[in-house]
Structure formats: C-alpha cells, structure tokens
Amino acid sequence: MVGDVSEEAAIVAATERTEPDCLIVPLNDPDAPMPMCTEILAKRPHLRIVAIGEGTNILAIYWRSPEGKVRCTYTTASRQSILRALRFMTA
C-alpha cells in the first residue's frame, strides 16, 4: 500500500504523487459514472481502478481500452473477485 486518503477529492492528487500500480476506491453509486476514473486514466492508461461499493456487494473495475475509452466491468464484491481484479491489474 502506497497511501490512504480520507477525502475522495484527494484521490487524483494522491495518484499523481504516488504513481500506484493499482487503485482501490469507494463506489458510492453504482449507477453513476465516476469522473475521477476518467481523469486518472487519461494520465495513467495502464492503471486499473477497483471500486468497491460499501454495503452494496458490487465491485467495479475501470480501465482504459487501447482505443482510449474508459471501460467498466461490474461483478460481486467477494474476496475472490477482488483478488481476480488485482491479478488482472498485474498481468
């Protein structure tokens, strides 16, 4: 773990400062787009972002496609799916 932030607004700056290989963020609303993912992936297209919904049992994985589009896949927030997402990031 490189860092932890208490405010969602600090995530973009912390990502620029620490240059992580993976980013785990809260998923506040699974039906709403996450603009910070687009902003982060524009500067770090190799990064995978795992968003975990608190109390929703939803996991979202964000990445940038070779065409430059931000993509998202949803799955259940189980231990196995989180580990699978992290392995996908390092592949």
| pLDDT tens by residue, 32-68 | 878 899 999 999 998 889 998 887 888 999 989 999 9
Q: How many CB atoms lie within 10 A of CB 37?
A: 23
Report whether pLDDT(6) > 90: no
The rounded distance, in Å, linking the Cα atoms of 50 and 84 is: 11
Burial 16-28 (b: 16+ CB within 10 A, else e): eeeebeebbbebe
| Strands of the sheet with 70-76, listed across from one edge | 22-26, 48-52, 58-64, 70-76
